[in-house]
Chains A and B, each alone.
Chain A
Amino acid sequence: MSTNKKVNVLACSGMGKVYGLMAREAVLHTVNHLCPEQAKTLCLAYIVTGEEEALAGFDHQPCITVDGCPAMCSAKSVAAMGGDIQEELKVLDIMKLHKGAKPGTATELTPEGWAITEEIAAKIADRVQEIQKEGK
């Protein structure tokens, strides 16, 4: 079974830490390059406004949230708006596999930061494919 619905991939984009930027860039890489036909992103802050137009592309569609820090703002916000969360990814979980890495700052990623970000994007893309196959 498969689904034609695009999977919503939503990043926290946290402003204060490099992990927020990594979450944001991983999501953009996924939806723009890895699976543009199967996934899309939406403005998290717009969804939270609850406006009808914002929720039109969000309701009844599977979601993957990608959060930079343990506050899990994307997951919490999507859950609060009734989103169908299939996966909550945490940048920090992937950073644990790269102890001592210097990914950059909240403004700019280093080449190492970009490489880890692409690894995160690959994980997101894998989940997108699985969710599509499961027909959720």
Chain B
Amino acid sequence: MAEELKIGVVSCSGEDCAGGTISRLATRKMMDSIRPDNTVTICLPLFLAGGQEERAFAKEYPTIAVDGCKRACAKQATEKYSGKVNSVVFVSDLIGDEVAEGPALSTRDLTAEHQAMVDKVAVEITKQFDAIMNEKRKEATAPKEDSSCGCGCNC
């Protein structure tokens, strides 16, 4: 059996805005309960500090960046050091700029409203995650084109 496909989810985890906390928690939710067998989180600080294993993973496997705000630090970093991300989820698009760019949020101060935001972001990540997964599975099972010379004429 072929190795099960993994997808890297890279959260910005921004410390200075609420969107960072939401991005982090939604990504953790992917790992803990939604797609635990196929989600690999890439530790962004390690990635930035030169982590070769993280960078190699993001080169080889599909990635989804989860960014708290439009600065798109997770996307920028992934694309700088590894390659184009397959998808980006902007937390600020889902919960609004005002909340996302609001004051830094401790997990201890999470309200039911914040939890609902985490769930909403996790739903969007899952949607994109499943679309990538389906596409990759199709690619993996598609019959190889039988063209010996590569000209497309089936000669």
Contacts and interface: CB of A to CB of B under 8 A. Distances in A.
B94 interface: no
A43 B77 CA distance: 13
14 contacts: A13-B24, A15-B24, A15-B43, A20-B43, A28-B15, A28-B106, A32-B104, A41-B15, A43-B15, A44-B15, A45-B12, A46-B16, A77-B48, A77-B49
A73 interface: yes
A49 B107 contact: no
Contacts of A31: 104
A4 interface: no
Contacts, number: 103
Interface in B43-90: 43-46, 48-51, 71, 73-74, 76-77
Interface in A101-122: 105-109, 114
Interface of A: 10-16, 20-21, 24-25, 27-29, 31-32, 41-46, 48-49, 51, 71-74, 76-77, 80, 105-109, 114
A10 B29 CA distance: 24
A77 B107 CA distance: 24
B104 A41 contact: yes
B92 interface: no
A90 B12 CA distance: 21
A73 B104 contact: no
A55 to B, nearest CB: 13
B111 to A, nearest CB: 16
Given A15-B44, A107-B32, A46 B14 contact: yes
Contacts of B73: 43, 45-46, 48-49
A108 B32 CA distance: 11
Contacts of B29: 107
B138 interface: no
